[in-house]
Structure 1
Amino acid sequence: MSSSYFTEEHQLFRESLRDFLQKEVAPNVDKWEEEGKIESAIWTKIGEMGYFGLATPEEYDGLGLDLFYTTIFLEEMQRINSGGFAAAMWAHAYLAMTHLNKNANHQQKLKYLVPSVHGRKIGCLGVTEPFGGSDVAGMRTTAVKKEDVYVINGSKTFITNGVYGDYIILAAKTDVSAGNKGISLFIVDRDAEGVSANKLNKLGWRASDTAELAFDNVQVPEENLIGLEGQGFTFIMEAFALERLVMGINAHARAEFALEYALQYMAEREAFGKSINQFQALRHKYVELFAEVEVCKEYNYAVVGKLDRGEYAVKEATISKLKSTKVADEVIYGCLQFLGGYGYIEDYPMARMLRDSRLGPIGGGTSEILKEIIAKIVIDKKEYRAPLKNAPEKDLKISVS
């Protein structure tokens, strides 16, 4: 851990969290991976420990801590070797709860954020649709105002926690003629009449539930609108920076864990009378992979610092995800090779890690999309600015990714 970013209090928090995960989570991971469902009791245990409330103000039962505590939370989740479990946790805390923390009103926070902090309500974010992911402005789900309710029709897909969660932070068009300015955010109860879910069968992240959601004339009370009509796009764009940084941190953390495991294996495995960590070809390959992860990790910590200071680090967070997820794939592929035939056996951790890691360059914006966003910034000199909350529409500085 880099002492220039983490204090003694951070270190004590890391040790406590690692101990908790090893005792309460690690023994159950294989079962949850096989069943494709996480036991409900662990959510409340994590909530009782305060881990869901790291970024939530104390006013709403959170801890109001800096973003480096979140970094530790994400890194330690990767060490139990279940991308699905980790994804379920951070999708709740840093996709759904982020919008509640930043954009919900007081009554919405009391009803949804406080129980989310305690792990009594589990949230998910509903933006991606079957016909479009990063093209947020092209979404087709609609919300039509009728008296004191909005009637929602449409579908979402690849929604983590969409099957077993309790509420959805849902993006829908309240004005289909207004492009990105016609998108609004709603809190939709998962058990509302007309909401249905189809559980998707995934290559990796097996412990988490990933859903295709359908909305058939779902009535949502007007008090569940987050912010004002038409503000949804700005809220989503603002949250993308944190989401992409989260995935960058996840990537460097799982790559680091893979390297640690591989090094231990190489020290114990012998060939031709000596441990395989003494063969130059393997040693030098290992060092190359190690160096790549170190560069990503230090870069990611610097971006955490920027976001923690309130900077709108769209470029940096996008680079974090693009580079770190690519490196993680390469590192874990290489670490599996270090294990030889055992790397291909499910009893060893690399097979699951390889599957789980592959989602990195896809989820939260594919690498191809991220490259175009970065190209717009560094080549076309496009500026991405923080949205002005509750400003007149003509004053909002919005850039379409």
Structure 2
Amino acid sequence: MTHSPSTNRNAYMSDELQQIYDQTVAFVANEVTPFGESWERSGMVPRDVLKKMGTLGMLSLRVPEQHGGLGMGPLASATFAEALGSSTFAGFDVTVLVHTDMSGPHLVNSGSESQLQNLLPGILAGETILSIAVTEPDAGSDVAGIRSTAVRDGDGWRINGSKTFITNAAHGNMSIVAARTDGDNRYGISMFLVPAHTEGFEVTRKLDKHGWLCSDTAELSLNDVWVSDEQLLGTPHRGFYATMQNFQNERMVLVGMGVGAAQTAIDLTNQYTQDRKAFGGHLYDLGAIRQRLAMDQAKVDAVRASMYHAAWMEEQGLDNVKEMSGVKAWG
């Protein structure tokens, strides 16, 4: 069954954002959905696909123009995430969004000029794929509870610990690792840039999942991983606050991909009911069917509107923690 995604028009959708949405939906329809089943079987998204996205500028929406990006805001991320959701392969969606909106912002917001100049070109081109290594066996949403440590060692740091449920860890190129650097301070966490080939950085297990199969998810072991001061991201002991600052953006894009997937499900169901004949007519002719479709559409519209409003608040510099937390719980 072919699928023509609904046009995303809302109060916050500028012509530029609509162009991003349309371009992404078209890319997904041509380059992702037809091949998603094979990616699910292989357990990863081919890197050539991510490089194509880089060539089209899809991986650089939130990066400042002076560093090669488009310099856009949260509304662009919400739009992009919803368009990705039309793929119906959430593993693909989250592979991209972990790179662009969960890992990348740490570098963009806290990176030194040297780090930005050296790393961003490969990241924006889809050649260097990022992961964010915060979650641990005993610390998920409780970021302050992480046990991985980084202690001073010469002109660098020695990292030890373990991470779990890390997206893009198995096939990615660089991980942004959170580790405790101030043992006396519950919030004394720092962020480090750790290339996947670093000695002591090991993928100990690829996790088997019930879904999102083309998103590689893994456990990591960091055994005496040495990193230089040049690999420290931002200010020492401020990683907890950087992580919490980006939580709203992470929640937003997760909701966005969910909205895109839900809208696609409704569109496909709507089309099916108009094609399927039963009870002397088409299923769509039955009032109960149309009522159910209308109610489901209303729910998706409500979540979408709430998400874009929360994104707009962030773009205006307003506190949107309550709004974004609410829409994530609802969506």
Q: TM-score range by the shorter chain?
A: over 0.9
1:274 and 1:217 map into 2 onto residues whose CA distance is 69
1:193 and 1:4 map into 2 onto residues whose CA distance is 50
Instruction: Report the AA paired with residue 236 of structure 2.
Output: E
Instruction: Classify the secondary structure of the residue corresponding to 1:179.
Output: coil
| Counterpart mapping for 1:187-206 below 5 A | 187-197=193-203, 198-206=205-213
Find the counterpart in structure 1 of residue 153 from structure 2: 146
CA contact (8 A) 1:248 1:322 kept: no
CA contact (8 A) 2:156 2:229 kept: yes
1:167 and 1:269 map into 2 onto residues whose CA distance is 49
- Report which structure shows greater RCO (CA 8 Å, sep ≥6): 2
Find the counterpart in structure 1 of residue 219 from structure 2: 212
272-281 or 86-95, larger mean C-alpha shift: 272-281
Unaligned runs of 5+ residues in structure 1 are 325-401
2:157 and 2:206 map into 1 onto residues whose CA distance is 26
TM-score (normalizing by structure 2): 0.94
- Which of 120, 123, 127 matches 2:127? 120
Find the counterpart in structure 2 of residue 245 from structure 1: 252
Instruction: Classify the secondary structure of the residue corresponding to 1:52.
Output: coil
Find the counterpart in structure 1 of residue 166 from structure 2: 159
TM-score (normalizing by structure 1): 0.78
Cα 1:134–1:187 change in 2 (3 A) is same
For residue 9 of structure 1, report the CA deviation from its aligned partner.
2.7
**Can you list the C-alpha shifts for 1:354-394, whole angstroms capped at 9, x where unaligned?**
xxxxxxxxxxxxxxxxxxxxxxxxxxxxxxxxxxxxxxxxx
- Which of 112, 115, 118 matches 1:108? 115
1:273 pairs with 2:286:
no
CA contact (8 A) 1:53 1:117 kept: yes
Find the counterpart in structure 1 of residue 5 from structure 2: none
**Can you list the C-alpha shifts for 1:55-97, whole angstroms capped at 9, x where unaligned?**
0011111111233222221111111111000100000000110
| Counterpart mapping for 1:12-91 below 5 A | 12-91=19-98
1:16 and 1:102 map into 2 onto residues whose CA distance is 27
2:109 and 2:143 map into 1 onto residues whose CA distance is 20
- Which of 169, 172, 183 matches 2:176? 169
| Counterpart mapping for 1:344-363 below 5 A | none
For residue 126 of structure 1, report the CA deviation from its aligned partner.
0.6
1:8 and 1:143 map into 2 onto residues whose CA distance is 46
Instruction: Classify the secondary structure of the residue corresponding to 2:96.
Output: helix
1:186 pairs with 2:207:
no
CA contact (8 A) 1:60 1:113 kept: yes
For residue 278 of structure 1, report the CA deviation from its aligned partner.
2.0
**Can you list the C-alpha shifts for 1:91-148, whole angstroms capped at 9, x where unaligned?**
0000110101111111111222221111110001011101120111111100011111
For residue 47 of structure 1, report the CA deviation from its aligned partner.
0.5
Instruction: Report the AA paired with residue 175 of structure 1.
Output: D
Instruction: Classify the secondary structure of the residue corresponding to 1:6.
Output: coil
CA contact (8 A) 1:92 1:124 kept: yes
For residue 3 of structure 1, report the CA deviation from its aligned partner.
4.5
CA contact (8 A) 1:196 1:215 kept: yes
Number of residue pairs the alignment of both structures matches: 323
**Can you list the C-alpha shifts for 1:328-367, whole angstroms capped at 9, x where unaligned?**
xxxxxxxxxxxxxxxxxxxxxxxxxxxxxxxxxxxxxxxx
CA contact (8 A) 1:166 1:190 kept: yes
Find the counterpart in structure 2 of residue 397 from structure 1: none
**Can you list the C-alpha shifts for 1:267-288, whole angstroms capped at 9, x where unaligned?**
1112111111222322222222
Unaligned runs of 5+ residues in structure 2 are 1-7
CA contact (8 A) 1:161 1:209 kept: yes
- Which of 299, 318, 325 matches 1:318? 325
